[in-house]
Amino acid sequence: MPKVRTKDVIEKFDLELMSGEEGVNRPITTSDISRPGIEMAGFFDYYPAERIQLLGKTELTFIEKLSDVDRKTRLELLCTDITPGIIVTRDMEIPVELLEAAEREAVPVMRSKQKTTRFSSRLTNFLESKLAPTTAVHGVLIDIYGVGVLITGKSGVGKSETALELVKRGHRLVADDCVEIRQEDEDTLIGNSPELIEHLLEIRGLGIINVMTLFGAGAVRSYKKISLVISLELWDQNKQYDRLGLDEEKVKIIDTDLTKITVPVRPGRNLAVIIEVAAMNFRLKRMGVNAAEQFSNRLSDVIEDGDHEDK
């Protein structure tokens, strides 16, 4: 199924459909937009027909200066069987030749009242958001002090119970059980909840609870940039766990590397507090304050001073 079609753009930006109504279900496969200025000059060798074509004041003024034959030929070449649509901005008059060619080829021609550059920017942002690579992860996403923390781990390890405790401590739930993730930029992952389970938490023994109903609108949010992954695992006494925090583990989601912290779970450990502090410590590191490195440097200084005294 295509993620976005021409009719979605018409609805989103309240565009006026002028011609080619049969093609409103055409898929849009790229967020790139074409302003076919050089094509209007007659050069179609590299015409990106699969993009939405945007005609502004510059292109339409140039088209008016063409001879009747050139205008008709070039506007017909603009309409192909894979062109998702042609949008005219500034509420300008649309050439009759374009309307006729678009109707024949079922290419939707739409009109917007907005200025070209402004509309192009908004359309690009919309398409990039819709066409971004996506995945789904089993886990819980919480906004803790402005840090998007993705809590992962095997089923039954206590992710949802920890999330409930964090919500009680004033943090905000984004998603429980299934987190939908889309990559909006090279290093930006945005997580949200599937619509079906939005604002819901499943707690074994209690069942499903509605966080927004219980704790208010301030306890939830719709989406959040993911910055940190915390993996909960049952305590293994044979495994060596990081006690200083000098080693930074990474995990790759789609094309982005995220910092990962493995937290062992056993009775008596307050996971909510540990995760809360992990989020605060992560913020501090981003500000340039690294407690583990400072301790390591102080330890090195003490060892060096001891060596000098021995000599």
Residue 159 annotated as binding site: yes
Residue 76 annotated as binding site: no
Q: What percentage of the chain reaches a pLDDT higher than 90?
A: 76
How far, in Å, are 64, 189, 259, 278 from residue 282 at the CA level?
A: 59, 17, 9, 6
Query: Which listed residue (26, 71, 111, 159) is catalytic?
Result: 159
Query: Which listed residue (7, 35, 72, 177) is catalytic?
Result: 177
Please tell me the pTM assigned to this model: 0.75
Q: What confidence tens digit (pLDDT) does each residue in 169-226 have?
A: 999 999 999 999 999 888 899 999 999 999 999 998 999 999 999 999 999 999 999 9
Which position has the token pair 């088209």?
63
What is the number of residues in the chain?
311
Annotation says 118 is catalytic: no
Query: Which listed residue (239, 243, 266, 311) is catalytic?
Result: 243
Which position has the token pair 């290093």?
187
Work out the average pLDDT over 156-165. Answer: 93
Residue 31 annotated as binding site: no
**Any idea what the Cα angle at residue 128 is, between residues 60 and 253, rounded to 5°?**
165
Q: What confidence tens digit (pLDDT) does each residue in 123-144 have?
A: 999 999 899 899 999 999 999 9
Residues with Cβ within 8 Å of 298's Cβ and at least 6 positions away in sequence, in order, are none
Asked if residues 98 and 104 have their Cβ atoms less than 8 Å apart, the reply is no
Work out the average pLDDT over 285-305. Answer: 82
Asked if residues 18 and 38 have their Cβ atoms less than 8 Å apart, the reply is no
Annotation says 159 is catalytic: yes
Asked if residues 138 and 178 have their Cβ atoms less than 8 Å apart, the reply is yes
Q: What confidence tens digit (pLDDT) does each residue in 220-253 have?
A: 999 999 999 999 998 888 777 776 666 788 999 9
Residue 153 annotated as binding site: yes
Work out the average pLDDT over 115-125. Answer: 95
Annotation says 176 is catalytic: no
Q: Which one-letter DSSP state was computed for residue 97?
A: H
Which position has the token pair 């942002």?
125
Quote the tokens at residue 122. Answer: 């908004």
pLDDT value of position 237: 80
pLDDT value of position 266: 85
Nearest to 255 by CA among 182, 307, 151: 182
Angle at which helix 116-131 crosses helix 6-13, to 10 degrees, equals: 130
> Where do the domains of the chain lie?
6-131, 134-295
Say which amino acid occupies 173: L
Q: Check pLDDT > 80 for residue 292.
A: no
Residue 121 annotated as binding site: no
Residue 85 annotated as binding site: no
Q: What confidence tens digit (pLDDT) does each residue in 3-23 have?
A: 899 999 999 999 999 999 999
Query: Which listed residue (3, 57, 138, 250) is catalytic?
Result: 138
Residue 128 annotated as binding site: no
E strand map for the chain = 16-19, 33-34, 52-55, 86-88, 109-111, 134-138, 140-144, 147-153, 172-175, 178-185, 188-192, 200-203, 207-210, 223-225, 228-234, 249-253, 256-265
Q: What confidence tens digit (pLDDT) does each residue in 80-89 have?
A: 999 999 999 9
Distance CA 127, CA 184 (A): 11
Residue 103 annotated as binding site: no
Class of domain 134-295: alpha beta
CB atoms within 10 A of CB 197: 14
Partners of 34 in the beta sheet?
53
Annotation says 3 is catalytic: no
Q: Which one-letter DSSP state was computed for residue 5?
A: B
Residue 154 annotated as binding site: yes
**6-131 CATH:** 3.40.1390.20
